Homo-oligomer: A and B are copies of this chain.
Amino acid sequence: PDGAARAAAEARNGQLTKPPGALGRLEDLGIWYAGWRGDARAQVTSPQVIVFAANHGVAARGVSAFPAEVTAQMVANFRAGGAAVNQLARTFGARMDVHSIELERPTADFTTGPAMTEAEVVAALAIGWNAVDPASDLLVAGEMGIGNTTSAAALAHALFGAAPTDWVGRGTGVDDAGLALKARVVGEGLAANPGAAHDPLEALRCLGGRELAAVAGAIARARQLSIPVVLDGFICTSAAAVLERAAPGALDHAVAGHVSAEPGHPRLLAALDKTPLLSLGMRLGEGSGAALAVAVVQAAAACLSGMATFAEAGVSDG
């Protein structure tokens, strides 16, 4: 971030026509945004929502309430503008892009070995990297992939330890037996890929998926471009966590958009020391929670950039 812009934003915030601190979290958020954008009066005018979609070999283990063909069907729905994230992106003026990554070629089942080869994970990271529009000023990286809450749970388990049961949840809606199966599959995943416990990028390759790698690649690219990021739910955050574990501070340009109803998400956010902006019981993925939180960042930047100072408005300062 730009220290001078951040300092100028802090100074400006202290002069705006409101009691000190009265905008609560919006004040810190606006200053954070200004610092990363290098402009004390930065506004959010060009947010970008990208949805990455891919398929998972582990879906064959029956870990999802929906069949694997739903990934491709939902990609068509994203392209036609019919999904939740489309409505949210449109409501808040975000550009939306969809990247469907080799849906006909699922990753390998990670309970039998690595989900991806080195070449495959690098290709997926590059897709994410190249998907970010350098002209955008706020990024949401969403995902779609039947089976990917299981992949995210395995990734979180490798990155942060704890028990598989601490990281699994009902995803799109599995029953108690499905939930127990997911925990078993997560444990088998780490057992089959022991190197994943010691190297975050190896964890991404062995237990992640193409859309998770693309999310990580996009978030890394946003950092290089000084584009702030709004993290979505459990799956997006697990992919982002790879970056933070590989290089502490790698997510300083990212804010947690919301906390999902998927039970592993609050645990993951705590491990990353991120406090969510919203808590509305959402658990859809697609970038939907983050796309809604774009509104909060827009609001914070609008207040910091647009409000009058006490001097400008002729208001007595306390």
A residues sitting closer than 8 Å to B (CB atoms) are: 16-26, 65-67, 69-70, 73-74, 76-77, 80, 82-84, 86-88, 90-92, 172-173, 261, 277-284, 288, 292, 295-296, 298-299, 302-303, 305-308, 312-316, 318
Contact = CB atoms under 8 A, between A and B. Distances in A.
Nearest to A317: B66
Contact of A83 (B17, B86, B261, B318): B17
Nearest to A277: B280
Contacts of A172: 19, 22, 318
Contacts of A296: 280, 292, 295
Contacts of A16: 84
23 contacts: A17-B82, A19-B66, A19-B283, A24-B282, A24-B283, A25-B281, A25-B282, A26-B282, A26-B292, A66-B316, A66-B318, A70-B316, A76-B314, A77-B308, A82-B306, A82-B312, A86-B307, A87-B305, A91-B298, A92-B299, A173-B318, A280-B296, A295-B299
Nearest to A89: B302
Contacts of A295: 91-92, 292, 295-296, 299
Given A17-B74, A281-B24, A282-B22, A84 B318 contact: no
B292 A87 contact: no
A303 B65 contact: no
Contact of A90 (B65, B278, B302, B314): B302
Contacts of A313: 73-74, 76-77, 80, 82
A181 to B, nearest CB: 17
A101 B175 CA distance: 58
Q: Chain B CB within 10 Å — which of A261, A295, A298 has the most?
A: A295
A24 B280 CA distance: 6
Q: Which 10 A-B pairs have the closest CB atoms?
A: A82-B308, A24-B281, A295-B295, A22-B284, A87-B302, A19-B172, A25-B280, A24-B282, A73-B315, A87-B306
Nearest to A315: B73
Q: Chain B CB within 10 Å — which of A87, A277, A298 has the most?
A: A87
Given A26-B280, A292-B296, 12 more contacts: A17-B82, A17-B84, A23-B288, A66-B318, A73-B313, A77-B308, A77-B313, A87-B303, A91-B299, A91-B302, A277-B280, A295-B299
